[in-house]
């Protein structure tokens, strides 16, 4: 959602992949594309609501992670 934060996160992920995956770092190249294609937490909450879930809690973990706790609605 925030362009600068997205760029910094992508750089961080690529750096970690190189550090921890060593010569296999190229295998993790999909991570930044995957993160870019992921819907926002707000969009996900709307999709979850349409699927019968209620958003019970939303927490932001700096620098780039949001945790949603969903509860199934009983009908």
pLDDT tens figures, 2-40: 778 778 877 877 787 777 777 777 777 777 778 778 888
Q: How many CB atoms are located within 10 Å of the residue 23 CB?
A: 7
Is 90 exceeded by the pLDDT of residue 64? Answer: no
Q: Tokens for 17?
A: 């992949």
Under 8 Å between Cβ of 31 and 16: no
Which residues are CB-neighbours of 24 under 8 A, at least 6 positions away?
Answer: none
Predicted confidence at residue 60, as pLDDT, reads 84
CB 71 within 8 A of CB 54: yes
């Amino acid at each position: 959602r925030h362009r600068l934060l997205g760029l910094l996160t992508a750089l961080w992920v690529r750096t970690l992949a190189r550090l921890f995956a060593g010569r296999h770092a190229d295998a993790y190249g999909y991570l930044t594309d995957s993160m870019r294609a992921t819907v926002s937490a707000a969009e996900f909450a709307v999709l979850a609501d349409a699927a019968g879930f209620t958003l019970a809690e939303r927490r932001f973990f700096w620098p780039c992670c949001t945790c949603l706790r969903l509860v199934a609605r009983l009908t």
